[in-house]
Structure 1
Amino acid sequence: MIAIDFSFQEWQWQYQISTTFFICVIVPAVYYVHAKYISNSPNNYNKLEEPLKLDIPIPQEAKAHWKGKRLYPPNLSIRVPNEPNKIQSYCPATGQSLGTFLTTSKEEMNQQVLKAKKAQQLWKKSPFTLRRKFLKTLSRYILENQEDIARIACRDSGKTKLDASMGEIMVTLEKLNWIIAHGERALRPSQRPGPSNLLIGLMKNGEVRYEPLGVVAALVSWNYPFHNLMGPIIASIFTGNAIIVKCSEQVIWSSKWFVDLIRLVLKSLEIDEDLVQLCCCFPEDADYFTSHPGISHITFIGSKPVAHKVVESAAKELTPCVVELGGKDSVLVLEDVKDFQALSSVILRGTFQSAGQNCIGIERVICLPKAYEKLVEIFTDRIEDFRIGSDIDQLDEIDMGAMISDNRFQSFEELIEDAVSKGAKLIHGGKPFQHPNYPQGHYFEPTLLIDVEPHMRIFQEEVFGPILTMIKATDVDNAIALANSTEYGLGNSVFGSKFNQLNDIANRLESGNVAINDFATFYVAQLPFGGVKKSGYGKFGGEEGLTGLCMAKSVVMDKPLLRLLGIATAIPPPIDYPIKDDKKAWRFIKSLNTAGYDNRIWEVIKAFEKLAKS
């Protein structure tokens, strides 16, 4: 049986629906309605957009039972001693080598820009049918090869397959299919009201047209090697741009394969594969790329310290940037939550997915007193049962994978030590974990820290790791104040039973995104995504993410009837050069302004009379 809980203000209804009825009747009905009335179904069945079926083998390193050479300290590093132009890739969960790659040189960056620019000149004229066919072909391949793609992402990042499925594959499929259904409409010329002046408004139409910028760039982080790479590529290709992605040096192995996949899809559709380029270099060599005059737009996903360098470099060419940085996202829990056990599952997923390496991961759980006690009890029991490891290599069930590296482990321990010294209580975890099978893997214990307060460093500083912190609020106002009291403002969630109250809280939270009675679904919903304060600026995702990769060209024209009659606007004689009578010219303009903008009928009539005499 499936239990469905419907909430409306103070009332609750619970229905028990048989699984058979749910699967055989409700699901098909919902699917039919969605396909027919919501998801732009005519596009889905256009023969010109029929997706191709591709058979692209995955690398040996991602297959089951792969036995690769293990690296050990001091060689367990992405840097190769005495060879600054090489990057060594390895699996952070097992320490197995994934190969060595050359960094992209400045000359190669120049060539990438030139190739991308040449390819984009033709692509910008491509029809939406072809653009959708590209997205549909890619979507079909991802759907039919989900486990293979997940294994590639896991091998390079250390996460679990489940985390890869939810955080990499599902959100990429959502972006693809949302753009397939709604992308063209978002990019159609936007009709505008035109001038408010009564006279000019009778003559002129206005619209905004969205034209591709050219060659755009995306600098993406390592925590979601598939989705963070695919998202900017999907949006750029659909908007008629070419793109150069600078991947993180931490995940060059998988990034190369994913970009090769995109290029193979393009090639299969007889589209110039030079539309998509991959650049990879160490941070100290990135300035040349981010200040390149051939790049028209930069999307940056990463940390605040690196963002300062990217924006400073881009300013040399006045290149516009969208900057998505970290957060200190909170969950506000009121005391009227109906099911704390179910809520605890949401919070655990939001905190420990990808070992906490998630920009919109839950960093603070702020609870009213009664809710606090209940959740602390539940978390104490559940977190101690977490199993850590590499589920693409082990037969055991795994809850949490590895971190990308161990370079933050000391910082985690210092944050925890600071909090405990100031009154917090460490309930579980708090230190690195040495896996019995993979001792060189980068594992940190799932950690529960309670009684955290604002004067502790861990309350203010982004953790980006598997640490669940519990904060007790005195009341709703105090909870909101606590949530707003850091320099970050990316996302928040609020849980309770009274929608009007939750809606009011959402309005008072200082963040770019809020989920009510859920976690991070604002991202899945393809709404514009981005933060405020030190979490960045600008948006990607949804309609704004597409139009943001375009030049908004404003076009004004005569009304269709005037064009049909052959009537064109002209400069009235009183104000035509050379001015024959400046007093008469002034009276004319004054009357024109009055006739166009005055809301007093008699004044407008008098102004028209004066215009007629002019």
Structure 2
Amino acid sequence: MIMANAAETLIPVTLELGGKDAFIVCEDVDVPHVAQIAVRAALQSSGQNCAGAERFYVHSGIYSTFVAQVVKIVKSVCVGPPLAGKYDMGAICLQGHADKLQNLVNDALEKGAVIVGRGSFGNLSEDAVDQYFPPTVLVNVDHTMKLMQEEAFGPIIPIMKFSSDEEAIKLANDTVYELGCAVFSGSQHRAKEIASRLHCGVAAINDFASNYMRQSLPFGGVKHSGFGRFAGVEGLRACCLVKSVVEDRWWPYIKTKIPKPLQYPVAENCFEFQESLVEVLYGLSVWDRLRALVNVLKILSEQNSPASTVKRNL
């Protein structure tokens, strides 16, 4: 809606929209360590984080161990009013959003997914229950489920296994959203290689959301996650209208002139001159540029010769 309205009067926009960020875990990681990060990535701000982790891809070699570790952590999470100071996770901000989250879970269950762990509710008043959603871990998920395609924006952890780096990359890129990603591996090189092939605007290697700590880095996504960037030099420039200024500087005894072959009326060899001039400036090799320069000088010398002047006068 913002883009449509802005388009009517050609107002420039930067759009930071939805996310469905992938969280990839290779088999050579410290599982307990990464499991803690995974749960934090999904439950931070009750999962209401545009760059929160929403799809978890775990190597088949550690899949069972990883799921068990995540379930253990999630089951210890208690949901309630944050100001009480005794709960791990707070409420859902948007009215009715808890129902949308439950619909996503229900769709996944109907298509074969299984809930393997949920957090608990604290002492909630009856009128406040609808504003909370328990952190939920699901397995046996696939990309036919809305939960793996639509932005959830809530504390849900769907975990899917992969067998190779190629498969993980293919799964992570299978979405209309591409804001961020996180890749974990015991090999920094391997994690970087995977992240470099993911279509997204923000990537974290063996970490999560550390980009937020560096305001010098641009933030934004691609595809349906939007375009343009905020923060960093790119973000500042997005708020500016850039003007290009070219100045003909004064030098003693040197004056900028249009070459004679291009002055009106143009010479017979003006096209050959223009072609050679372009080759001088943008030729692919030094030799091409040198040959073109020789031709430019040749044409100019012919143009300035007495015979050429007589011919033009006739």
TM-score, normalized by the shorter chain, greater than 0.5: yes
Matched, 1:440 2:125: no
Matched, 1:535 2:222: no
How far 1:576 moved relative to its partner?
3.5
Q: Which amino acid aligns with 2:236?
A: L
Specify which of 369, 374, 377 is matched with residue 60 of structure 2.
Answer: 369
How far 1:382 moved relative to its partner?
1.4
- Is the contact between residue 276 and residue 292 of structure 2 (CA under 8 Å) also seen in structure 1? no
- Is the contact between residue 137 and residue 156 of structure 2 (CA under 8 Å) also seen in structure 1? yes
Q: What secondary structure is seen at the aligned counterpart in 2 of 1:318?
A: coil
Give the match for residue 317 of structure 1.
Answer: 9
Q: TM-score w.r.t. structure 1 length?
A: 0.45
Distance of 2:169 and 2:278 partners within structure 1: 49
Give the match for residue 192 of structure 2.
Answer: 503
Give the match for residue 155 of structure 2.
Answer: 466
Once the two structures are superposed, the pairs formed by residues 279-318 of structure 1 within 5 Å of their partners are: 309-318=1-10
Once the two structures are superposed, the pairs formed by residues 325-344 of structure 1 within 5 Å of their partners are: 325-337=17-29, 339-344=30-35
How far 1:573 moved relative to its partner?
4.5
Specify which of 234, 239, 251 is matched with residue 544 of structure 1.
Answer: 234
Give the match for residue 426 of structure 1.
Answer: 115
Distance of 1:371 and 1:324 partners within structure 2: 34
Give the match for residue 360 of structure 1.
Answer: 51
Aligned residues: 297
- Is the contact between residue 331 and residue 492 of structure 1 (CA under 8 Å) also seen in structure 2? yes
Matched, 1:410 2:99: yes
- Is the contact between residue 111 and residue 145 of structure 2 (CA under 8 Å) also seen in structure 1? yes
Once the two structures are superposed, the pairs formed by residues 468-483 of structure 1 within 5 Å of their partners are: 468-483=157-172
Distance of 2:90 and 2:20 partners within structure 1: 22
Give the match for residue 301 of structure 1.
Answer: none
- Is the contact between residue 369 and residue 473 of structure 1 (CA under 8 Å) also seen in structure 2? yes
Matched, 1:486 2:175: yes
In structure 2, the CA distance between the partners of 1:317 and 1:435, relative to structure 1 (3 Å rule), is farther
Q: TM-score w.r.t. structure 2 length?
A: 0.85
Q: Which amino acid aligns with 1:359?
A: C
Q: Which amino acid aligns with 1:353?
A: Q
Q: Which amino acid aligns with 1:397?
A: K
Distance of 1:318 and 1:420 partners within structure 2: 45
Give the number of the structure with larger relative contact order, counting CA–CA contacts within 8 Å between residues 6 or more apart. Answer: 2
Give the match for residue 456 of structure 1.
Answer: 145
Distance of 2:56 and 2:280 partners within structure 1: 59
Give the match for residue 74 of structure 2.
Answer: 383
Specify which of 30, 42, 48 is matched with residue 351 of structure 1.
Answer: 42
In structure 2, the CA distance between the partners of 1:600 and 1:358, relative to structure 1 (3 Å rule), is closer
Give the match for residue 58 of structure 1.
Answer: none
What fraction of aligned residue pairs are identical, expressed as a percent? 38
How far 1:550 moved relative to its partner?
1.1
Q: Which amino acid aligns with 2:26?
A: L
Give the match for residue 525 of structure 1.
Answer: 214
Distance of 1:399 and 1:430 partners within structure 2: 10
- Is the contact between residue 6 and residue 12 of structure 2 (CA under 8 Å) also seen in structure 1? yes
How far 1:402 moved relative to its partner?
1.1
How far 1:525 moved relative to its partner?
2.7
Specify which of 570, 574, 587 is matched with residue 257 of structure 2.
Answer: 570
Give the match for residue 268 of structure 2.
Answer: 583
How far 1:418 moved relative to its partner?
1.8
Once the two structures are superposed, the pairs formed by residues 38-49 of structure 1 within 5 Å of their partners are: none
Distance of 1:323 and 1:350 partners within structure 2: 23
Once the two structures are superposed, the pairs formed by residues 548-563 of structure 1 within 5 Å of their partners are: 548-558=238-248, 563=250
Distance of 2:128 and 2:56 partners within structure 1: 32
How far 1:434 moved relative to its partner?
7.3
Distance of 1:367 and 1:359 partners within structure 2: 22
Q: What secondary structure is seen at the aligned counterpart in 2 of 1:363?
A: strand
**Can you list the C-alpha shifts for 1:298-352, whole angstroms capped at 9, x where unaligned?**
xxxxxxxxxxx11111111011111111111111100000x21111121111110
Distance of 2:16 and 2:271 partners within structure 1: 51
In structure 2, the CA distance between the partners of 1:474 and 1:604, relative to structure 1 (3 Å rule), is same
Distance of 1:351 and 1:416 partners within structure 2: 15
- The answer to which of 360-369 and 516-525 deviates more is 516-525
Distance of 1:553 and 1:379 partners within structure 2: 52
Structure 2 residue ranges without an equivalent (≥5): 305-314
**Can you list the C-alpha shifts for 1:530-550, whole angstroms capped at 9, x where unaligned?**
111111111112110011111
Distance of 2:276 and 2:57 partners within structure 1: 62
- The answer to which of 438-447 and 471-480 deviates more is 438-447
**Can you list the C-alpha shifts for 1:450-482, whole angstroms capped at 9, x where unaligned?**
221122221111110111111111222222111
Determine which structure has more spread, i.e. the larger CA radius of gyration: 2
**Can you list the C-alpha shifts for 1:408-432, whole angstroms capped at 9, x where unaligned?**
222222221221222211123389x
Specify which of 77, 83, 90 is matched with residue 401 of structure 1.
Answer: 90
Q: Which amino acid aligns with 1:544?
A: E
- Is the contact between residue 416 and residue 430 of structure 1 (CA under 8 Å) also seen in structure 2? no
How far 1:564 moved relative to its partner?
4.3
Q: What secondary structure is seen at the aligned counterpart in 2 of 1:445?
A: coil
